[in-house]
Amino acid sequence: MTDLSFDGRVAIITGAGNGVGRSHALDLARRGALVVVNDIGAAVDGSGRSAGPAQAVVDEIEAAGGAAIANTDSVATPEGGAAIVAAAIDSFGRVDIVVNNAGILRDASFAKLTFEQLEAVLDVHLRGAFHVTKPAWTHMRAQSYGRIVNTASGSGLFGNFGQSNYGAAKMGLVGMTRVLAIEGAKANITVNAIAPIARTRMTESYIDEDKAMAPELISPIVTYLSHESCSVSGQIYHVGGGKVARAFIGVTEGITSPDLSAEMVADSIEKIDDTGAFEIR
């Protein structure tokens, strides 16, 4: 088994001050990557601000012999995204890897969901990934190399009560992943998504403390997808508790008729829904 090293590669990891993001930062740094540890130091709902979490992870990396800088710009604005990428260029001269991990929660049932709760979640998860990836994309295309990993969620793929805003943002990231994988192919830029489940600040209310659900068990797939040897692109991986599995989009065999009608659909819905035969897209 060949060790995956990242000597000289520069990685931006958003939301890296705690939990899964911290784990990604530590693993990539341990393998030689130069890391921009981005985190505004907010609470789970996005309120508050502190430079402490990002700097604490940098201190861990440096204590272990690695190299990293702390960054507290917000992914929620175009200016913040540009500043995060500029920090990588100014400090390390390039950007090779972007792991879009920053996130907040504003859970509410759809009946009670407010526009502000929707916008806040979209700003960090979906628009936040766009704000960081867009300026990084320019550098990656110029150097004909890049690795991007987006953090989706089972809430987007499968649904979860009280998370219509979060699920919409996360499924939006799947769509962006699929499109950028196509657009980045000629420039040797791979783009993939993960749907992780681990015990972190965001999930501790419903995931009991369990070593099998540690954030560190998410990072191996991110490290692999971030490596230069990985040619996989446009894929989604469901990961947690030590398991990694591909999630995919498929289309059933369905029915075809030049005389298609609503009545025909009603009569054939079981065949339309039958997953016995399908095409992976």
Residue 145 is a catalytic residue: no
Residues 187-210 as b or e (16 or more Cβ within 10 Å = b): ebbbbbbbbbbbbbebbeeeeeee
* Per annotation, catalytic residue among 145, 166, 206, 224: 166
Q: Which residues are catalytic?
A: 166
